[in-house]
Structure 1
Amino acid sequence: MKMDKGSGLAERGSPLSVAMAEDAARAIDMVAEAVRMRRLRLAYHPVVLAGRPGQIGFHEGLIRVLDPGGRVIPARDFVHAVESLELGREIDCAALAMGMDALARHPTLRLSVNMSARSLGWPRWTRLLRAGVARNPGIGQRLILEISEASAMTVPELLAGLIAELRPSGISFALDGFGAGAFALRHFRELSFDMMKVDAQFSRNIQTHPDNQVLMAAFLAIARQFDMLAVAQGVEQAAEAEWLAQLGMDCLQGYHFAAPKLIPEGLEAEGEAASAAATQRRQAAR
């Protein structure tokens, strides 16, 4: 049920529920304004090969919303509030458009873009995806669509149809944050994900955490059974990275390797060269 922050229902709630409703409303207003003013950016977080951590397998494009002063509004402050709204679809469209543009500008870039399963039936999102692939043949082979575990469970049948439709174009699909929700394991047979990204909670202190060790090994076995690449998220310590690599994880992601950047890791020189060329063109046109 949609609840206005000034409604009688909110007034009858506890002080905590009222505060939470008001916080959600403020977050929605800030994000809506940022979308209208196009204060959106992609930050690129590298995913490295577990056996060769100096080599980047691909980047994850993380949406960044900026306030009027240019400060980043963390996704955790708004993602749950907007995911079920039309605003969430607009953010997914913006992330996809920026991701497709980055892939077109950087021919060596392989990029994953986050999306909600609710956007699958959103006409504008679908048009953006199909137009981007048609405009740049081969770009689909460098695009990965990441769908959270919770989101995938909302419309598994629709998701299965999209995966089957887009797979011939080379697009890959990743199940994000696996283990954090209630994903039905039977859906692995039906959805044919290319990648399993295990939730960060299972990487933390795994070298000294027997429960996480058993669970991570089980997740890896599932990934192998269904021919999925296995990625451990949230790696923040060298000891965690070493343990996960020895276990046999394919890729690792986390602040131990790098923080998200506005220019993809390893492509900074390419970005600087493009910027210099653009400056020269502007000067020549004067």
Structure 2
Amino acid sequence: MSTPRFLTLPPGVREQRIETPVGTFAALEALPVSGVPERWPALLVPGYTGSKEDFIAIFQTLAQAGRRVVAIDMRGQYETEGPDDPAAYTCEALGEDIDQVAAAVGAGEPVHLVGHSFGGLVTREAVIGGATKLASYTLMSSGPAGITGPREQACRAMLRELPEVGLEQLWTHRLEPEAIVAGVPDDILAFLRRRLFANSLTGLVTMAQQVLDAPDRLEDLRDVGMPTLILYGEHDDGWSPSSQAEMAKRLDADCVVVPGALHSPAVEAPETTAHALTRFWNQAEQHLPHT
């Protein structure tokens, strides 16, 4: 579970709704404080139990480089509604949603796509599918297949406990105490509770299964030939840093290791993360014809 540092929206950031043929998605949109966007836009997709707020700390820096930057709640996450049908929460189904959102955000222009953690497993489906008009692709703290390490164990525990005890007991007896021990401030703690309970329960269960059982699709991704960045924290406790470094080699992708960060570089090292994304995006645009 990512823990945003703060929830106050920076200047130039506003709440938004992205209308698509497959539904409406809650979003945060960042624009340059002065001037107009001169570069291609970016779409940021959060991980399991995450939300658009996980990117608040990097919005302003990214937008000030001359871009419109949009982060969304996926179907069934926080402020985006979702059905009770488990089929709506597979990586493939959510990837089709990302196709539609990217088309709406780009409005004819290529989009820089970023997937964090489980969001990486979802967004790669959109990349492999080829329907999305993309400028580049970033896997942030994600991996080649199902999640590993301590976060795998936490995910399995959540999947086991959710049907048995429900969200209230899970929050009260495990998630809240863990957050308190980690020193999460009261206002952020209240947000985390509100966000968790706003999620689709069906979505939480199905997404947990998906993040655990995801197959390795790196060969399919490599075949697309998309400019790709692998970005992760030096001490990532999800997919190991070594597995992500190996993934970068298999994809022949750029690789950035964020010093001191764990599984959420956008939260734990926002300036380093934002500058790495901006540098990669600028380089990708230099090698693609502008429309």
User: Could you tell me the TM-score, scaled by structure 2's length?
Assistant: 0.36
CA radius of gyration, larger in:
1
Whose RCO is larger (CA < 8 A, sep 6+)? Answer: 2
